[in-house]
Chains A and B, each alone.
Chain A
Amino acid sequence: MNDSPTSLSRRRFIGSTGVAGAGLVLGAPGILKAAAAGGDAIHVALVGFGKQGEVLFNCLKNIPGLRFQAVCDISDWNRKKGMGQVRAVQGDLPKPYVDIDEMLATEKGLDVAIVATPDFWHSPHTVKCLEAGLHVYCEKMMSNTIDGARAMVHAAERTGKLCQIGHQRRSNPRYLYTYEQLIKGRNICGQIVNANAQWNRSLGASQDIGGDKLSKSIIVPDERLKQYGFEDMHQFLNWRLYHDLSGGPISDLGAHQIDIFNWFLGTQPKALFASGGHSYFKKREHFDNVMAIFDYDTPQGEVRAFYQVLTTTSAGGGFWESFMGTEATIKTAEIASSSAIYREDGAPSWDDLVEKGYLKRKPAPPKPQSSEGAVAAYESAAPEEYDLPGGFNKPAHQPHLENFFAAVRGEASLNCDAAHAFESEAPIFYVNPSAERKERIEFTQEQLSV
């Protein structure tokens, strides 16, 4: 990249940009990095090896220089699965543990913990590991309570250890490029006035996990379930559905995308209004459908951001975020084919950007027949469609984990440390209360700060 004002490196860009809203630096979490750890292998404990733990491991095994020393999970099935997968990668078995305290007391030489347990365990597990001297990568949502999330930030500050939160889009090259080069660098959206995002999941994909008759091999003994906060196997397999164990769909799915609102807009929202209901799954503790509107004050002006998480339909193409400006709309998504950039009719030409390779022009769709009569006078011309110049060929979580391990080695700064993740996640904790009370919430600094 050259040194033109629009091609600053990420760190230089962050350092030179003022950010609105309570002195926040939502776009600039690159503060923490560990002291150089030398060329030795990093010794890793895998804490939680359920579905998400496996997703992370499938990225971790592509990262050189890691030694998987221990697998900890209360489920024999998950633990065995984790051990098998580790053995397939490194040739020998890691040490198995049911209990994290026992693991931390027994295992010597651990450097890092990857925490992928249910949300209500994130904070206790992360704090324990940080206090044991480990760097931690913890899945989002930081916790099921805002105080749990605060405790993680405090523990990271107190111990001086790294704590990366799994908002993996923060390290996604396509998101980084979109934010730094297109939105900030070249301001191709013009003034962003609205944002919109959704995670819509079909009814089929939203059903309870498990069934009436579970295979013996996956059943966790009752006594152990209760010891670790679960009433029964249904709770263990479906912890996302329970108030005391998670924040429900708005935190489980919404956290990723509301984080993008806060990151790209560079500030926290000033107000929130939400609506939700048990529209289909009548007996679930959490709302099955939630819609929320966040109001932002950005340096460019007001922005209203609408978010919906629906568990009864996949309509609208699943999950994505859209930033609508006066000159263009950028639609981002983890799935590259769902992303697009639309130039408004009348916006400055992008021919130069296409020629230099900043954007790719998509083939124009066939022109629709113009509407007749008076309607035509009010129609907007269809926007031209563009795309990013390239993609990346890795599992979605891998760049974020690579960033974490580079920080552990002292070679990079975290892209989403606990403090910045907290700033981004804090408003999400108020969505369910707003929907329950049917009240607009004007945020105070105290509500959104550590």
Chain B
Amino acid sequence: MNTEPESKPDTLALTYAAWLTRLWLAVRAIQTGIEKFAGKAVSEEVVAIDGSPNDYGLTASSAEKAYSLDNYHGVPAALYDKFAGEPLIPGFFLKFYDWVLGPALLVLGLTILLGIASRTSLFLLGALYISLTWGLILLGEPGNAGVAWLAAHMILIVMALQLSRHNKLCVLKKW
């Protein structure tokens, strides 16, 4: 009979693994949410010629990245147009989804980062990524690169859920 004692799991390594997956998913969600408020602050001035504004509308412009509520676009414009043409996506749902996507990413990213109901937050983030996957499947994206990209996120979420027992430093352990 084998009398060697069973090897103990390396709990420190598992804790680090839990933190890394938690941090990655949180950063990914939070920054993606923030970027939905990003836009370009374009300053455009009509060029003066011979002391007067020109009649042609020639302008000198500069554009800088800026964040504001007015810039908010949950679903990127190019994708929104395509989704709007999908008969399986009702108009009201698309509008709601567009409205909720950015805030949802921010809230779930923060709850995962702070460890608030981590398992439920991870589950909801996974559900959100599934909804994005469904949209990309509907659009018939060539090569399905976006679907594969989201699948990588799902693998990380599953890993984070598996590691949840080792997820220390949480504000709310429950759920």
Give 1 or 0 for each of B36-62: 1 = CB within 8 Å of chain A CB.
000000101011111110111111110
Tell whether, in the assembled complex, residue B47 and residue A1 are in contact, meaning their CB atoms are under 8 Å apart.
no
Tell whether, in the assembled complex, residue B140 and residue A357 are in contact, meaning their CB atoms are under 8 Å apart.
no
Tell whether, in the assembled complex, residue B58 and residue A84 are in contact, meaning their CB atoms are under 8 Å apart.
no
Tell whether, in the assembled complex, residue B81 and residue A84 are in contact, meaning their CB atoms are under 8 Å apart.
yes
A394 to chain B: closest residue by CB:
B57
**B85 an interface residue at 8 Å Cβ cutoff?**
yes
Tell whether, in the assembled complex, residue B61 and residue A357 are in contact, meaning their CB atoms are under 8 Å apart.
no
**B82 an interface residue at 8 Å Cβ cutoff?**
yes
Q: Name the contact of B85 in the complex, choosing from A85, A174, A177, A393 (C-beta under 8 A).
A: A85
Interfacial chain B residues near A390, Cβ < 8 Å: 46-47, 54, 58-60
Tell me the chain B residues, 56-72 only, with Cβ under 8 Å from chain A: 56-61
**Main SS class of interface, B:** mixed
Tell whether, in the assembled complex, residue B50 and residue A391 are in contact, meaning their CB atoms are under 8 Å apart.
no
Tell whether, in the assembled complex, residue A85 and residue B57 are in contact, meaning their CB atoms are under 8 Å apart.
no
Interfacial chain B residues near A177, Cβ < 8 Å: 54, 56, 58
**A229 an interface residue at 8 Å Cβ cutoff?**
no
Tell me the chain A residues, 251-283 only, with Cβ under 8 Å from chain B: none
Tell whether, in the assembled complex, residue A1 and residue B84 are in contact, meaning their CB atoms are under 8 Å apart.
no
Tell whether, in the assembled complex, residue A81 and residue B57 are in contact, meaning their CB atoms are under 8 Å apart.
no
Tell whether, in the assembled complex, residue B58 and residue A87 are in contact, meaning their CB atoms are under 8 Å apart.
no
**A338 an interface residue at 8 Å Cβ cutoff?**
no
Please judge, given known A-B contacts A85-B81, A88-B81, A215-B140, whether A388 and B59 are in contact too, CB under 8 Å.
no
Tell whether, in the assembled complex, residue B85 and residue A87 are in contact, meaning their CB atoms are under 8 Å apart.
yes
Tell whether, in the assembled complex, residue B61 and residue A393 are in contact, meaning their CB atoms are under 8 Å apart.
yes
Interfacial chain B residues near A2, Cβ < 8 Å: 50, 52
Shortest CB–CB separation between residue B30 and chain A, in angstroms?
Answer: 27
Report the bound CA distance from A81 to B60 in whole Å: 35
**B19 an interface residue at 8 Å Cβ cutoff?**
no
Report the bound CA distance from A381 to B81 in whole Å: 53
**A38 an interface residue at 8 Å Cβ cutoff?**
no
Tell whether, in the assembled complex, residue B55 and residue A84 are in contact, meaning their CB atoms are under 8 Å apart.
no
A54 to chain B: closest residue by CB:
B81
Most chain A CB within a 10 A radius of its CB, from B51, B55, B81: B81
Tell whether, in the assembled complex, residue B56 and residue A176 are in contact, meaning their CB atoms are under 8 Å apart.
yes
Tell whether, in the assembled complex, residue B47 and residue A357 are in contact, meaning their CB atoms are under 8 Å apart.
yes
Tell whether, in the assembled complex, residue B84 and residue A392 are in contact, meaning their CB atoms are under 8 Å apart.
no
Shortest CB–CB separation between residue A161 and chain B, in angstroms?
Answer: 27
Tell whether, in the assembled complex, residue B47 and residue A389 are in contact, meaning their CB atoms are under 8 Å apart.
yes
**A80 an interface residue at 8 Å Cβ cutoff?**
yes
**B16 an interface residue at 8 Å Cβ cutoff?**
no
Report the bound CA distance from A286 to B46 in whole Å: 45
**A9 an interface residue at 8 Å Cβ cutoff?**
yes
Interfacial chain B residues near A391, Cβ < 8 Å: 58-61
Interfacial chain A residues near B52, Cβ < 8 Å: 1-2
Tell whether, in the assembled complex, residue B55 and residue A1 are in contact, meaning their CB atoms are under 8 Å apart.
yes
Report the bound CA distance from A83 to B84 in whole Å: 8
Report the bound CA distance from A234 to B170 in whole Å: 61
**A173 an interface residue at 8 Å Cβ cutoff?**
yes
Report the bound CA distance from A19 to B78 in whole Å: 46
Shortest CB–CB separation between residue B100 and chain A, in angstroms?
Answer: 17
Please judge, given known A-B contacts A84-B85, A356-B49, A393-B44, whether A91 and B91 are in contact too, CB under 8 Å.
yes
Most chain A CB within a 10 A radius of its CB, from B56, B58, B59, B86: B56
Report the bound CA distance from A316 to B19 in whole Å: 54
Q: Which residues of A does B touch, CB under 8 Å? A: 1-2, 7, 9, 80-81, 83-85, 87-88, 91-92, 173-174, 176-177, 181, 215, 217, 356-358, 388-393, 399
**Given A84-B84, A389-B49, A390-B60, 7 additional A-B pairs, CB 8 A:** A84-B86, A173-B58, A356-B50, A357-B50, A358-B50, A389-B60, A390-B47
